[in-house]
């Protein structure tokens, strides 16, 4: 039976590259994003790339909203007959000093990167249990352990996600649900409204992070790589 994976924030960047990789392996994938246009474009592009529209579902979902997260999990499971893996990839960040950060920006970052993961996990755990087990992969960041000026909200959200993931891993492994968190370094995507990655050849490509996640998902049932760090092999010197 082909694995069913729900990827939050799968309409571009790392999540999109992961969807492409899983579909390329003959698997079934649901991707989410908040923008309807973005979801439709991603669904079309992924269906065209894999040549089988029956294995890809695009779902509009805001992970900050518990009801929306619940609906996304249910929709993916109904479409493919169950769920084997949840990849909490949706994330946002801005580089703003705390003294200048509006409250709603703080809430958007923590709401997406931390509470959004809680919302999706809470919705997915019963569905994974029904299946007899599965995976939850949380996409964190090396910024979680390397805080920087202007990154207080982002770094805190990802550091919180690391602790959340460690606790959840212990909570769920007896249910045969494995929890992993992945900490990428700089990845060449449009994250944080970056318009161009010109001159950023040294960065990871989204496909590199996707490959690390695919490798995790393919581990033997007895094996749980619970924390994975991935960084550019030759970082730019400042």
Candidate segments 11-19, 97-105, 129-137, 170-178, binder of ligand NAP by CB under 6 A = 11-19
How many residues at the interface with ligand NAP, by CB under 6 A?
A: 33
Instruction: Compare residues 82 and 184 and give the one whose CB is closer to ligand NAP.
Output: 184
**Encoded tokens for 211:** 């490959």
Residue 106 as a binder of ligand NAP (CB under 6 A): the answer is: no
Output Rg (C-alpha) for the chain, integer angstroms: 17
Q: Which of 135, 154, 164, 181 is catalytic?
A: 154
Candidate segments 6-14, 43-51, 73-81, 125-133, binder of ligand NAP by CB under 6 A = 6-14
Strands 134-139 and 85-88: parallel
136 close to 172: Cβ distance less than 8 angstroms: yes
Whether 154 sits among the annotated catalytic residues: the reply is yes
Q: Which of 3, 5, 6, 14 binds ligand NAP (CB under 6 A)?
A: 14
Residue 219 sits at φ, ψ, to 5 deg, of: -65, 150
How far apart CA 144 and CA 154 sit, in angstroms, is: 8
Residue 134 as a binder of ligand NAP (CB under 6 A): the answer is: no
Q: How far is the CB of 195 from ligand NAP (least distance, A)?
A: 12
Instruction: Compare residues 131 and 137 and give the one whose CB is closer to ligand NAP.
Output: 137
Residue 160 as a binder of ligand NAP (CB under 6 A): the answer is: no
Q: Which residues contact 15 (CB under 8 A, 6 or more apart)?
A: 7, 8, 9, 31, 87, 89, 90
140 close to 164: Cβ distance less than 8 angstroms: no
Active-site residue set: 154
């Amino acid at each position: 039976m082909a694995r069913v994976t729900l990827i939050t924030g799968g309409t571009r960047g790392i999540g999109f590259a992961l969807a492409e990789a899983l579909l390329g392996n003959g698997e079934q994938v649901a991707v989410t994003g908040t923008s309807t246009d973005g979801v439709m474009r991603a669904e079309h592009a992924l269906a065209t790339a894999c040549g089988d529209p029956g294995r890809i579902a695009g779902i509009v979902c805001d992970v900050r909203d518990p009801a929306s997260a619940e609906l996304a999990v249910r929709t993916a499971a109904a479409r493919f007959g169950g769920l084997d893996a949840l990849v909490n990839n949706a994330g946002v960040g801005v580089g703003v000093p705390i003294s200048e950060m509006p409250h709603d920006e703080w809430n958007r970052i923590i709401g997406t990167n931390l509470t959004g993961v809680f919302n999706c996990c809470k919705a997915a755990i019963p569905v994974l249990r029904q299946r007899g087990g599965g995976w939850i992969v949380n996409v964190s960041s090396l910024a979680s352990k390397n805080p920087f000026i202007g990154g207080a909200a982002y770094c805190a959200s990802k550091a919180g996600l690391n602790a959340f993931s460690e606790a959840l891993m212990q909570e769920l492994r007896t249910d045969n649900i494995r929890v992993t968190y992945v900490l990428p370094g700089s990845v060449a995507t449009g994250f944080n409204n970056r318009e161009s990655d010109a001159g950023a050849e040294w960065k990871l490509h989204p496909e590199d992070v996707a490959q690390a996640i695919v490798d995790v998902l393919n581990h033997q049932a007895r094996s749980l790589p619970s924390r994975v760090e991935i960084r550019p092999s030759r970082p730019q010197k400042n």
